[in-house]
Amino acid sequence: MSKALPKRSENYSEWYNELVKRADLAEHSAVKGCMVIKPYGYAIWEKMQRALDDMFKATGHQNAYFPLFVPKSFLEKEEEHAEGFAKECAVVTHYRLKSNPDGKGLVVDPDAKLEEELIVRPTSEAVIWNTYKGWIQSWRDLPILINQWANVVRWEMRTRLFLRTTEFLWQEGHTAHATSEEAIEETEKMLGVYATFAEDWMALPVLKGLKSANERFAGAVETYCIEAMMQDGKALQSGTSHFLGQNFAKSFDVKFVNKDNQPEYAWATSWGLSTRMMGALVMAHSDDNGLVLPPKLAPIQTVIVPIYRSEEDLAKITKRINPIVERLKSLGVSVKFDADDKYKPGYKFAEYELRGVPVRLAIGMRDLENGTVEVARRDTLSKETIPLDGIESKIVALLDEIQANIYQKALAFREANTFQIDSWDDFKVQIEKGGFIEAHWDGTSETEERIKTETKATIRLIPLETTEESGACVYSGEPSKQRVVFARSY
């Protein structure tokens, strides 16, 4: 049996890193800053993909794929965008290697220098809007609603599995519209899709809002976001949706003839959600025993562990359990009957607990005689013995109950760790303890930067669902019309 996980209360960062590795979600790769997503981790990501992809298609979007490489001149066309990503770009300068003249290894062939350097995509606005120029001529060609599932590269100096890696997986939506109103409606609609996914599938309560100008996506007019609270009180940006105005259309000369037969630049949005959400899933719900997975995203929703002494006992248990397994599958439950004799039941219990399997059933010969089964819940770590008859409907109901309970627990935690603060002294004390701080801000970038410099707290969002409230900026004392949400973040 492996040693216990570090405790969250003692070293949250070490707990997270160890849990990701021990639960077989991911590991560091031979390429610095990159990770290997292992089958169990990728199975969770596949469920996330499937849910999101269905939601995208239900809102009229189609999937496409664009090149990994972006010509440097494309990236440079939108100046703010280029400046925002310049420090994170991986650049391809040559297309060939050759044998080293001293006979040891390979070297870059100086004769194979590219005429134009290529950027490994940090995001795809530039290459996609260059493509859209050939797709859009008339208002009848709009809207274009495209999503891409892809990998991107943003060179990182300090990395952490899932939360920040040099290469990561994501989806990126890129849409073109005939009017600003349609583009803004799209931006807000996709933010709603992300919030629904986070809350209904990940059991993760989120706040919806706008980023400040300092935190806005490079090249965007407005950036909308969802923010979630992790168990250490830090915020995690969990999805962003950007209203790009006509910035990219102007940079790439994407014009269309409108209904009045006049030329006009198209209006743009982009939106993305990445494997960073795998990190959110771990940090928002899990405990000192391992993962706690919402049933909707668990690769195995129910595991059945037989307890037996002989092959004859196992055969009797298997005969009784097989029809139950088939009925559960027919009800859409992913179930595993673990009759592997390599490990003792106690070891299996600990492993499935570590991996966050929502429901575990244990059945031995006495249970078989009594027509009962032991049911263990991962979210509460509680156990009860119930009749085996009708177990299938009880498991379906229990999975729904666990999904709701995990969400409510995370929501209660966020509410207990959200504070309205009105004085700078109180702000400095509270930010050290963690949580979300709702405070007045005078709206200036200068004040925002000073707060960040002095406390490492940033404005996570300007809430969309809020009422105006006159007050004084927590830092400068200048007038303010509403509170914004501050936190330290990942």
- For residue 140, what is the domain's CATH number? 3.30.930.10
In this structure, are 461 and 383 located in the same domain?
no
- Gap between the Cα atoms of 94 and 399, Å rounded: 53
DSSP 87: G
Task: Kindly state whether residue 77 falls inside one of the protein's structural domains.
Answer: no
In this structure, are 62 and 199 located in the same domain?
yes
Cβ atoms of 458 and 438 within 8 Å: the answer is no
Task: Kindly state whether residue 231 falls inside one of the protein's structural domains.
Answer: yes
From first to last of its 490 residues, the chain has per-residue pLDDT tens of: 468 899 999 999 999 999 999 999 999 999 999 999 999 999 999 999 999 999 999 999 999 999 999 999 999 998 889 899 999 999 999 999 999 988 889 999 999 999 999 999 999 999 999 999 999 999 999 999 999 999 999 998 888 999 999 999 999 999 999 999 999 999 999 999 999 999 999 999 999 999 999 999 999 999 999 999 999 999 999 999 999 999 999 999 999 999 999 999 999 999 999 999 999 999 999 999 999 999 999 999 999 999 999 999 999 999 999 999 999 999 999 999 999 999 999 999 999 999 999 999 999 999 999 999 999 999 999 999 999 999 999 999 999 999 999 999 999 999 999 999 999 999 999 999 999 999 999 999 999 999 999 999 999 999 998 778 999 999 999 999 999 999 999 9
Residue 287's contacts (CB-CB under 8 Å, 6 or more residues apart) are 8
Task: Kindly state whether residue 118 falls inside one of the protein's structural domains.
Answer: no
Q: Which residue has the tokens 């606005």?
A: 125
Task: Kindly state whether residue 25 falls inside one of the protein's structural domains.
Answer: yes
In this structure, are 161 and 202 located in the same domain?
yes
pLDDT value at position 258? Answer: 97
Task: Kindly state whether residue 412 falls inside one of the protein's structural domains.
Answer: no
Say which CATH number the domain at 465 has: 3.30.110.30
pLDDT value at position 2? Answer: 64
- Gap between the Cα atoms of 355 and 292, Å rounded: 8
pLDDT value at position 435? Answer: 98
Q: What angle do CA 490, 27, 166 make, to 5 degrees?
A: 50
In this structure, are 45 and 183 located in the same domain?
yes
* Structural domain range at position 52: 12-70+130-285
In this structure, are 470 and 435 located in the same domain?
yes
Domain end (from 263, 285, 307):
285
In this structure, are 302 and 390 located in the same domain?
yes
Domain end (from 222, 257, 285):
285
Name the domain count of the chain.
3
In this structure, are 208 and 266 located in the same domain?
yes
pLDDT value at position 102? Answer: 87
Task: Kindly state whether residue 410 falls inside one of the protein's structural domains.
Answer: no
Nearest CA to 150 out of 283, 21, 270 is that of 270
In this structure, are 196 and 243 located in the same domain?
yes
Domain end (from 250, 285, 320):
285
Q: What is the CA radius of gyration of the chain?
A: 26
Task: Kindly state whether residue 78 falls inside one of the protein's structural domains.
Answer: no
pLDDT value at position 468? Answer: 86
Task: Kindly state whether residue 305 falls inside one of the protein's structural domains.
Answer: yes
SS3 for 461?
strand
- Gap between the Cα atoms of 359 and 395, Å rounded: 8
CB atoms within 10 A of CB 449: 12
pLDDT value at position 157? Answer: 83
pLDDT value at position 3? Answer: 80
In this structure, are 334 and 267 located in the same domain?
no
In this structure, are 278 and 316 located in the same domain?
no
In this structure, are 470 and 370 located in the same domain?
no
Cβ atoms of 178 and 258 within 8 Å: the answer is yes
SS3 for 198?
helix
In this structure, are 181 and 313 located in the same domain?
no
CB atoms within 10 A of CB 233: 20
